């Protein structure tokens, strides 16, 4: 007998009420559906049905989630935060397996079914973070999908030995090659980018580069990235995270960069930071750029904020981009669903028949209202199985 | 017998656990307190004790709160939104008494005990909004305090008859004189400001001016306001709402404006808009300026967002101002509590003995964590009486 779940009376993507039949983890039918003998049933109560939310950029390995509150004392600069974190990590007892497990449980409760996490690799922590998050990923793979980026948080070339560690992380099965501010942190943009594109070529893996660099410096680094994507045929395999330079004052220059991203099919990840220049979401999407979103650090030594809620992230995208019309707010939600799925190359994502049944039920008259209200009443389904009911997972995770 | 409430085991302002005795609506004692025969008791369970949150800028009269979702279709400019709203208001059945009552119930549930609301006055709506919100204010005065600003939303001098309506609103008992963009909307900054300062003088009332004007234009309007405050001795009686010009690129000019605000004791209200230039909160406070905060429109034809949560507003202030250190996040919370109380001239506000017992109990190890977590577990006390328990008011309001 196939395993079946019949979801009664939901409104897929905000449309009219329908029943949705899930069979063997995939959407098998949508419409008015007769009860079948073996199927479990879930009453949707007229709630919206969304595809699972996609957290396309976080740092699971170093969150304080579930630990006691830790006073934030880092200085204001990027390098202050990097140094502060590395200095404190030893004293913090941040077990990456345990901490990443705590945070994915929260993400899942809020409706996220797919996560891309950057995980620190450096000459102090070595591969401990990668191994810890991999252990969590394997342990919880039935309820949430986690993709790992090997991330040189403390710099790549400025910390000899880090490149070899990234290489080993990829050999272990890390899915994505990470990079970080080729000019500002690594002081050698050509060297940095040649190194990470080299690793990507060696292992046949995609790339996700943190690019906080602003203005003309960031634009220079981005140009160097685009050159390599073009030369190496890496179209559709590269994400630029943050991309603050796309919010530079020179709108004409930003426009040319956005066109370059669209041409080389480089995705952009935004947190919609309220205190930094940010990629203009609507302009990027209209130009054909894939835009995804993430929380970035959640309750860690970088960032005290965050509840792991990608509906809240959609709201923050809306607020940052001055989205007020319904179709604009829906665009912000798209970034947190389909945009993330495209950037991560997820197969079978969505609400069509045949798609994997990774689903979120949430109240709301419309998609825009779901973003605005951010109700805590969330039911989450992973491959056809109910994994979270309002406020809690259906089964405890260790 | 005096009416007593003994609040057990709370942590005032994030300090150590204490009991708080409230007698006849005021804080009578803080410490380890013996049970008294007649006192009702409330177990705080170790929660934080905060003074009631202060919503220092909203528009109660025109919210859609509690109504079905209304699609947002206004154009992007300020004037588009003004015209759109006036055009649609007739079709909307927005009863100001009913709608303002629905929204203050929500605000109160989230921990707000004091509200300053701008209420539209124009030649179409006349004083209907003022009268409706006044009726609500009187009806609910036992559970929430509402102060009304007579607000010329559609312009003052460009709509002949509006000034006379503002005058009548003040004669009816409206507490504050409102103004709006003396250059950009009214096209006559001298005329606009002389008119509203004239009304303030006539009725002995404070002023709260919406100033969306950016850059040098806003700076010019602000200079004209400061000149009048100085000439008329209105120090401590004027608030500038939004003050986007204080986030102008010319930091030296902004600095001179901030010093002027401090000197003339003009308060600044910020929503911490993520898509506009905003007053730099820390710089303003360090210069001695009183900074308060508000939600602005909540679910209305201007703004689809908002849950009426001033803890969320504190978070948004933190995000916009890149506040990450605990003391910075506490500053954002101060803006939503003491800053609002100062701008509105509230008497007996706070957590000291003798203060009016307008209080919020919310979980959190620290004040910063309360802002970051924004727990829905809120117990609200108004003048010593429990008016809201988590998720609902203790008594229904009509």
The confidence score (pLDDT) of residue A172 equals 97
Q: What is the mean pLDDT of residues A27-43?
A: 91
Share of chain B above pLDDT 70, in %: 99
Give per-residue pLDDT as tens, B359-391.
Answer: 999 999 999 999 999 999 999 999 999 999 998
The confidence score (pLDDT) of residue B75 equals 75
Q: What is the mean pLDDT of residues B259-269?
A: 98
In chain A, where the domains are located:
4-51+350-393, 53-344
Give the closest residue to B382 by CA, choosing from B117, B39, B78, B114.
B114
Which residues does chain B have within 8 Å of residue A326's beta carbon, measured at their own beta carbons?
A: 71-73, 304
Lowest pLDDT segment from A43-57, A215-229, A295-309, B77-91: B77-91
Give per-residue pLDDT as tens, B139-186.
Answer: 999 999 999 999 999 999 999 999 999 999 999 999 999 999 999 999
Q: Report residue A137 CA to chain centroid gap.
A: 15
pLDDT band at A80; cut points 50, 70, 90 = confident
Closest Cα in chain A to B271 = A319
Residue A323 has pLDDT above 80, yes or no: yes
Q: How far apart are CA B22 and CA B4, in angstroms?
A: 6
Q: What is the mean pLDDT of residues B212-239?
A: 98
Nearest by CB to residue B318, choosing from A74, A305, A368, is A305
Q: What is the mean pLDDT of residues B329-352?
A: 98
Alpha-helical runs (H) found in A111-269:
128-139, 162-172, 189-203, 215-232, 251-263
Query: Under a CB-based contact definition with an 8 Å cutoff, are residues B281 and B316 in contact?
Result: no
Given CATH 3.60.70.12, say whether it is the number of domain A4-51+350-393.
no
- Is A118 in CB contact (< 8 Å) with chain B? no
Q: How far apart are CA A200 and CA A233, in angstroms?
A: 12
**How much is the mean pLDDT over chain A?**
95
pTM of this structure: 0.96
Q: What are the DSSP calls for A39-92, one per residue? A: -EEEE-TT-EEEEPEEEEEE-GGG--TTSPP------SSHHHHHHHHHHHHHHH
Q: Return the CATH number of B4-51+350-389, one of 1.10.357.10, 2.30.40.10, 2.30.110.20, 2.40.160.40.
A: 2.30.40.10
Give per-residue pLDDT as tens, A48-78.
Answer: 999 999 999 999 999 999 999 988 877 777 7
How near does any CA of chain A get to the CA of B170, in Å?
A: 33
- Is B226 in CB contact (< 8 Å) with chain A? no
**How much is the mean pLDDT over chain B?**
95
Query: Under a CB-based contact definition with an 8 Å cutoff, are residues A54 and A310 in contact?
Result: yes
N- to C-terminal Cα separation, chain B:
31
- Is A139 in CB contact (< 8 Å) with chain B? no
pLDDT band at B243; cut points 50, 70, 90 = very high
Lowest pLDDT segment from A67-71, A119-123, B240-244: A67-71
Q: How far apart are CA A269 and CA A249, in angstroms?
A: 19
Q: What is the mean pLDDT of residues A98-124?
A: 97
Query: Under a CB-based contact definition with an 8 Å cutoff, are residues A256 and A245 in contact?
Result: no
Interface contact A304-B324, CB threshold 8 A: yes
Q: Enumerate residues 6+ apart whose C-beta is below 8 A from B157.
A: B163, B186, B187, B188, B191, B192, B195
The confidence score (pLDDT) of residue A87 equals 72
Residue A362 has pLDDT above 80, yes or no: yes
Interface contact A273-B319, CB threshold 8 A: yes
pLDDT band at A274; cut points 50, 70, 90 = very high
Which residues does chain A have within 8 Å of residue B274's beta carbon, measured at their own beta carbons?
A: 272, 274, 316, 319-320
The confidence score (pLDDT) of residue A396 equals 80
How near does any CA of chain B get to the CA of A75, in Å?
A: 8
Q: What is the mean pLDDT of residues B300-315?
A: 96
Lowest pLDDT segment from A254-258, B74-78, B224-228: B74-78
Which residues does chain A have within 8 Å of residue B307's beta carbon, measured at their own beta carbons?
A: 373-374
Residue B304 has pLDDT above 80, yes or no: yes
pLDDT band at A37; cut points 50, 70, 90 = confident
Superfamily grouping for domain A53-344: Metal-dependent hydrolases (3.20.20.140)
The confidence score (pLDDT) of residue B81 equals 78
Interface contact A368-B72, CB threshold 8 A: yes
Which residues does chain B have within 8 Å of residue A302's beta carbon, measured at their own beta carbons?
A: 324
Q: What is the mean pLDDT of residues A134-154?
A: 97
């Amino acid at each position: 007998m196939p395993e079946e779940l019949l979801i009664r009376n939901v409104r897929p993507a905000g449309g009219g009420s329908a029943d949705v039949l899930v069979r063997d983890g995939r959407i098998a039918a949508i419409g008015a559906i007769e009860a079948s003998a073996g199927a479990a049933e879930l009453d949707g109560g007229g709630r919206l049905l969304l595809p699972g939310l996609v957290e396309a950029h976080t740092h699971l390995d170093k969150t304080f989630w579930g630990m006691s509150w830790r006073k934030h004392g880092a200085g204001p600069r990027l390098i202050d935060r990097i140094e502060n974190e590395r200095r404190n990590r030893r004293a913090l007892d941040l077990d990456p397996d345990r901490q990443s497990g705590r945070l994915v449980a929260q993400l899942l409760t809020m409706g996220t079914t797919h996560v891309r996490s950057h995980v620190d690799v450096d000459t102090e922590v070595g591969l401990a973070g990668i191994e810890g998050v991999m252990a969590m990923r394997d342990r919880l793979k039935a309820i949430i999908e986690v993709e790992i980026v090997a991330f040189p948080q403390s710099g790549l070339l400025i910390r000899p030995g880090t490149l070899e560690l990234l290489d080993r992380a990829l050999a272990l099965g890390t899915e994505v090659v990470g990079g970080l501010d080729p000019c500002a942190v690594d002081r050698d943009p050509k060297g940095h980018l040649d190194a990470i594109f080299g690793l990507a070529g060696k292992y046949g893996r995609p790339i996700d580069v943190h690019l906080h660099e602003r203005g003309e410096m960031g634009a220079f680094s981005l140009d160097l990235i685009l050159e390599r994507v073009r030369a190496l045929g890496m179209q559709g395999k590269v994400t630029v995270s943050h991309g603050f330079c796309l919010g530079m004052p020179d709108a004409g220059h930003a426009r040319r960069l956005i066109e370059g991203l669209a041409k080389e099919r480089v995705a952009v990840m935004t947190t919609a930071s309220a205190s930094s220049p940010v990629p203009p979401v609507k302009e990027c999407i209209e130009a054909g750029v894939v835009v995804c979103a993430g929380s970035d650090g959640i309750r860690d030594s970088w960032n005290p904020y965050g509840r792991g809620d990608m509906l809240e992230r959609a709201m923050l995208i809306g607020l940052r981009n001055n989205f007020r019309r319904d179709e604009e707010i829906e665009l912000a939600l798209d970034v947190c669903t389909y945009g993330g799925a495209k950037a991560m190359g997820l197969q079978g994502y969505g609400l069509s028949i045949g798609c994997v049944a990774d689903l979120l039920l949430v109240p709301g008259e419309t998609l825009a209202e779901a973003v605005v209200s951010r109700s805590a009443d969330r039911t989450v389904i992973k491959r056809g199985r109910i994994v979270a009911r309002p406020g809690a997972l259906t089964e405890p995770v260790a």
